């Protein structure tokens, strides 16, 4: 996802610190600081959290029991952990500022939502006897649409006005559980209008200050793939086939995981990603108590999945040259790979 604020992404002009032999292969425009694999985690937590909310709404309907405060605490817990990990690198002031801004605004949003849903929201929910209204169903659909969108694009490009139009023209104005219906209409109207206005301001400011983030990343492979996966249409070879090194470009963000897994499944290893050969961060979801098929990966943080009792997020770091082998081990163990934080 071209993350929640372009400021952090455009810090990619900083050259990567790449331990290892030989010069960096990635072209300068594709190099990003090694510390960014850690610092992008708080941004991506603000994808993981809405994804958890969308799944919860679609399973349970009402958000009154969603752990808003717990997610806020996990955001800051993750930020502290990755700040500790990135301490050995030059201080990335732009990214820390961006994370602080999005973390602060999310803290305020979640606090307000928690206060509202645990009082007025719970009362209207009780008035409906736990039944789901068309407004509740729309909120759940839009929550999932939003998550699908921000896995690829910045949140501020999401069209909050379209669901608002659907709310007032595509759902019945009357029907059962009128108190819940109109309480949800009022809440969703207020929420989507505020977010639409805030998104417009962020888009305006971002466009005035920063260039668009590069959507692809350069990866050096150990060898030519035996076959170029037909479904991975965005994978491009840089240089003539058979030439060395084997340099390709693949999509960044959420799509990077599919491309990395497909190449790893062919037995191809990675020698460099975005100019880096040092640690890369990966998150895997697994049941509590299950042995972690993590090989030599180092655990950075473990967080419970608050709406899925018995499940945990394991945040691990491992060297880029070991990533493909680890992906193969996770595949063999049927581990649930959540994200690769590709700088």
Q: Write out residues in the chain with pLDDT < 70, as ranges.
A: 1-21, 207-211, 229, 292-294
Tokens 């207020």 belong to 190
Q: Could you tell me which residues come within 8 angstroms of residue 34 by beta carbon, excluding any fewer than 6 positions away?
A: 16, 17, 18, 89, 276, 278, 279, 343
Each residue's pLDDT tens digit, 218-277: 999 999 887 776 777 888 888 877 778 999 999 999 999 999 999 999 999 999 999 999
Give the pLDDT confidence score for residue 289 in this predicted structure: 82
Nearest of 271, 266, 232 to residue 250 by alpha carbon: 232
Give the pLDDT confidence score for residue 21 in this predicted structure: 61
**Residue 24 backbone phi and psi in degrees, to 5:** -70, 135
Give, in order, the Cα–Cα distances in Å from 301 to each of 47, 137, 282, 340: 17, 35, 11, 15
Give the pLDDT confidence score for residue 217 in this predicted structure: 95
Each residue's pLDDT tens digit, 264-313: 999 999 999 999 999 999 999 999 888 766 677 899 999 999 999 999 99
pTM attached to this predicted model: 0.88
Q: Are strands 279-287 and 236-238 parallel, antiparallel or unpaired?
A: unpaired
Domain edges within the chain = 6-209, 216-341
């Amino acid at each position: 996802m071209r993350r929640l604020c372009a400021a952090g992404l455009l810090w990619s002009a900083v050259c990567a610190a790449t331990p290892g032999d030989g010069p960096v292969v990635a072209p300068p425009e594709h190099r990003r600081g090694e510390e960014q694999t850690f610092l992008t985690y708080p941004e991506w937590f603000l994808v993981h959290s809405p994804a958890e909310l969308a799944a919860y709404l679609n399973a349970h309907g009402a958000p009154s029991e969603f752990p808003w405060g717990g997610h806020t605490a996990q955001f800051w817990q993750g930020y502290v952990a990755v700040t500790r990990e990135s301490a050995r690198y030059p201080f990335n002031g732009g990214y820390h500022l961006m994370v602080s801004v999005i973390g602060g605004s999310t803290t305020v949003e979640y606090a307000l939502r928690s206060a509202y849903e645990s009082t007025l929201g719970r009362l209207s929910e009780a008035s409906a006897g736990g039944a789901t209204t068309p407004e509740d169903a729309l909120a759940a659909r839009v929550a999932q649409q939003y998550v699908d969108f921000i896995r690829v694009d910045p949140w501020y490009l999401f069209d909050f006005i379209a669901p608002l139009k659907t709310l007032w023209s595509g759902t019945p104005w009357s029907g059962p559980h009128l108190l819940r219906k109109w309480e949800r209409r009022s809440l969703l109207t207020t929420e989507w209008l505020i977010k639409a206005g805030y998104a417009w301001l962020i888009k305006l400011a971002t466009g005035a200050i920063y260039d668009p983030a590069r959507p692809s990343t350069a990866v050096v492979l150990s060898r030519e793939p035996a076959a170029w996966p037909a479904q991975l249409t965005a994978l491009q070879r840089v240089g003539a086939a058979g030439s060395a090194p084997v340099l390709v470009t693949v999509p960044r963000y959420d799509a990077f995981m599919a491309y990395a897994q497909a190449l790893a499944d062919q037995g191809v290893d990675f020698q460099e990603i975005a100019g880096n050969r040092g640690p890369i961060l990966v998150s895997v979801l697994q049941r509590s108590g299950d042995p972690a098929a993590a090989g030599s990966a180092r655990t950075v943080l473990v967080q419970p999945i608050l709406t899925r009792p018995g499940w945990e997020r394991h945040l691990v770091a491992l060297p880029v040259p070991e990533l493909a082998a680890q992906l193969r081990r996770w595949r063999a163990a049927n581990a649930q790979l959540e994200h690769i934080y590709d700088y």
